A and B are shown apart, each in its own frame.
Chain A
Amino acid sequence: MPQLRLKQFSPLILEPLDLVVDEGETVTLSGPSGSGKSQLLRAIADLDPHNGTAWIGDSAADKMPAPQWRRKVGYLPADSSWWEELVGVHFSETPELDALGLTEAILHSSVAHISSGERQRLAVLRMLQQQPQILLLDEPTANLDPHHTLLVEEWILKYQQHNGAPILWVSHDPEQRLRVGKRHFEIHDKKVVQT
Chain B
Amino acid sequence: MTLITLTPFDLALASSLVLLLALLSWRMQLGVERQLLIAALRSAVQLILIGFVLKLLFAQSNPFFIGLLALLMLSVAGFEVMSRQQRSFTGLWGYGIGALSMFLSSFSVALITLWVILQPDPWYTPQYAIPLLGMLLGNTMTGIALSLDNLTRTAWDKRHQIEAQLLLGHDARQAISSIRRDALRSGLIPIINSMAAAGIVSLPGMMTGQILAGSPPLEAAKYQLLIMFLIASGTGLGSMAAIWSGSKRLFDERQRLRLDRLKKR
Q: Please give the residue numbers on chain A whose beta carbons come within 8 Å of chain B beta carbons, in ascending order.
A: 45-49, 62, 65-68, 70-71, 73, 75, 77, 79-83, 126-127, 130
Contact = CB atoms under 8 A, between A and B. Distances in A.
A186 B150 CA distance: 41
Interface in B149-189: 158, 160-171, 178
Contacts of A82: 161, 164
20 contacts: A45-B167, A47-B166, A47-B256, A47-B257, A48-B256, A65-B255, A66-B254, A66-B255, A67-B171, A70-B167, A71-B169, A77-B164, A77-B167, A80-B164, A81-B161, A81-B163, A82-B164, A83-B158, A83-B178, A127-B168
A9 to B, nearest CB: 15
A164 to B, nearest CB: 20
A79 B160 contact: yes
A130 B255 CA distance: 19
A80 B161 CA distance: 9
Interface of B: 158, 160-171, 178, 252, 254-257
Given A46-B256, A48-B256, A49-B256, A70 B169 contact: yes
Nearest to B158: A83
Contacts of B158: 83
B165 A83 contact: yes
Contacts of A130: 168-169
Contacts of A46: 254, 256
Contact of A47 (B161, B167, B169, B171): B167
Nearest to A62: B254
A181 to B, nearest CB: 23
A67 B166 contact: yes
A68 B168 CA distance: 9
Contacts of B163: 47, 77, 81
Contacts of B254: 46, 62, 66
A1 B160 CA distance: 30
B161 A70 contact: no
Contacts, number: 54
B232 to A, nearest CB: 31
A67 B158 CA distance: 19
A48 B159 CA distance: 13
Contact of A75 (B162, B167, B255): B167
A126 B169 CA distance: 12
B164 A70 contact: no
Contacts of A49: 252, 256
A126 B160 contact: no
B164 A83 contact: yes
A62 B158 CA distance: 26
- Which of B165, B167, B252 has the largest count of A CB atoms less than 10 A from its CB? B167
A65 B160 CA distance: 21
A19 B169 CA distance: 24
Given A83-B158, A130-B169, A66 B256 contact: yes
B161 A68 contact: no
B41 to A, nearest CB: 50
Contacts of B161: 81-83
A70 B167 CA distance: 6
A80 B164 CA distance: 8
- Which of A67, A71, A73, A81 has the largest count of B CB atoms less than 10 A from its CB? A67
A66 B169 CA distance: 8
Closest 3 CB pairs of A and B: A71-B169, A81-B160, A81-B164
Contact of B170 (A48, A67, A81): A67
Contacts of A83: 158, 161-162, 164-165, 178
A71 B160 contact: no
A48 B255 CA distance: 10
Contacts of A77: 160, 163-164, 167
- Which of B162, B252, B256 has the largest count of A CB atoms less than 10 A from its CB? B256
